[in-house]
Amino acid sequence: MSTQVPPKPTSIDSPPDEGLAAFVGKRVYVAGDFDVLPCGLLKEQLRMIGSRIETHLSRKTNLLIHGANAEAELERARPLGVRTMTEVPVLLALRAAGELPDRLLAALGVRGPLPFDKEIPPPPRVQTLNPEPDDIMRASEAIRAAQLDRYGLTIAQLLRCWCRAFAERPDIRVLHATADRPASPATLAALAPRLPAHALALAAELGSLHFRWVFKGERDEAGSDLGHNGGRINFVGFDALRWCAEDESYDAKFDELQAEGSTFLRHELEASPADARLWFIHTSAEPRALGTVESYLAHGAGRAFVWYWQRRGDSETDALVARLTAASLPSATPADEVVAGLCARSLAPAEAQALQRWLGPDAVLLLPA
């Protein structure tokens, strides 16, 4: 003859899905010490909604509501297969049904804040993507076309030329120079809903980029201070770009420098990625707006991407730029002489002319005195 094993009781610590139906018409046994309502008052509330309060546990009992010091009752309920529940879900169900209003709690001598009144967290924010990704694609193509008209090369091409020319300065050492391939057409189409046009224009021609240099005779710092005695570019690449929800904005890391400060694409919560611009965000300073990718790279190249060039009025940054400037051609050097000097540094004439148009007087930082 087989022996039936009674089911294990179900323990409930959150509001029952069935609401007050979990108690109406049910045989309920109440035991233990409770935090909010005394045992007698809790029983009375249950009677008022239609529960049948039991005087002992049995197989006919539907529910055991227990507080502290009810270990013996819980132990007896297990072999009987009785459902068990703590005080909190009972009170939450009563509150949700309007059976336990604040005025009643006050009349019973209960004062808030109540341990079961938990603030409902807001729903997770969902970033609004660009509504017309095809328009973003067309805008990015127009940006690259405008760069070609203005300088003779696109920004991605100019940046590669800048790295090649700067690496030939005799007073610096290049410690790292790598660049990944640009995004494929399929990847660009996938990025279009998630990027502003000015960033997508760069993604079409450049992936991640890491270029790091120091002055000769200086050692490179370890860890997060790489480039401290020189400069650094460290684009994370658009394949790795991830938007993160902050208190007032969405941010995506663009140029990773160190934990305390890096450059991010940022847009307001109500906006879309199409409106994102670059911001330098540092733990010890106010965020600094740095505009589009094109303006960011022109500004950085004009300061040789020295350590923390993004910070305004930083003494270390200014000292590094001053050191380069003192060892470079004068800023008043005529444009044709700058172009000739760049051609002598393995650049094609069209590349040299484009760099000079792009950087203007700051192009002399590519040419030692």
Domain harbouring 16, CATH code:
3.40.50.10190
Q: Is the pLDDT of residue 15 over 60?
A: no
| Whether the predicted pLDDT of 112 surpasses 70 | no
277's tokens: 């611009």
The answer on pLDDT for 51 being more than 80 is: yes
Could you give the CA distance from residue 242 to residue 240 in angstroms, rounded to a whole number? 6
Q: Find all residues with CB under 8 Å of 247, minimum gap 6, and list them.
A: none
Label residue 99 by pLDDT band (50, 70, 90): confident
- Mean pLDDT (whole number) for 54-62: 93
Q: Are strands 83-85 and 63-66 parallel, antiparallel or unpaired?
A: parallel
Cis preceding-peptide flag for 7 (omega within 30 of 0): no
- CA–CA dist 77, 272 (Å, integer): 56
Task: Examine the domain organization and report whether 168 and 279 are in the same domain.
Answer: yes
Give me the domain span that covers residue 77.
11-107
Task: Kindly state whether residue 170 falls inside one of the protein's structural domains.
Answer: yes
Question: Are residues 235 and 361 part of one domain?
Answer: yes
Residues 262 and 342 in one domain: yes
In a domain, 123, yes or no: no
325 in the same domain as 212: yes
Q: How far apart are CA 109 and CA 100, in angstroms?
A: 13
Q: Are residues 238 and 362 in the same domain?
A: yes
pLDDT at residue number 9: 47
- Please give the residue that has the higher pLDDT: either 9 or 220: 220
Same domain, 70 and 172: no
- Range with top average pLDDT, 100-104, 228-232, 319-323: 319-323
Residue 109 scores a pLDDT above 80: no
Residues 182 and 315 in one domain: yes
Instruction: Name the least confident of 148-162, 225-239, 246-260, 298-312.
Output: 225-239
The reply to whether 298 and 166 lie within a common domain is yes
The total number of structural domains in the chain stands at 2
pLDDT computed for residue 368 by the predictor = 95
Q: Could you tell me where the beta strands, DSSP code E, fall in the chain?
A: 11-12, 27-31, 52-53, 63-66, 83-85, 172-179, 209-215, 230-235, 243-245, 249-258, 261-268, 277-282, 288-291
pLDDT band of residue 345 (cuts 50, 70, 90) is confident
**Low-confidence winner among 11-15, 148-152, 170-174, 333-337 (lowest mean pLDDT):** 11-15
Residue 223: predicted pLDDT = 53
How large is the average pLDDT for residues 107-131? 67
pLDDT of residue 111: 60
Domain membership of residue 125 (yes or no) is no
Instruction: Please write the tens of the pLDDT for every residue from 132-182.
Output: 999 999 999 999 999 999 999 999 999 999 999 999 999 999 999 999 999
Higher pLDDT, 215 or 15: 215
Do residue 223 and residue 281 come from a single domain? yes
Quick one: pLDDT at residue 101? 78
Query: In this predicted structure, what is the pLDDT of residue 2?
Result: 45
Q: In whole numbers, what is the pLDDT of the chain averaged over residues? A: 88
Is 119 a domain residue?
no
The answer on 181 and 56 residing in a single domain is no
Average pLDDT over residues 256-278: 93
Q: Are 366 and 355 in contact (CB under 8 A)?
A: yes
Residue 286 in this model has a pLDDT that exceeds 80: yes
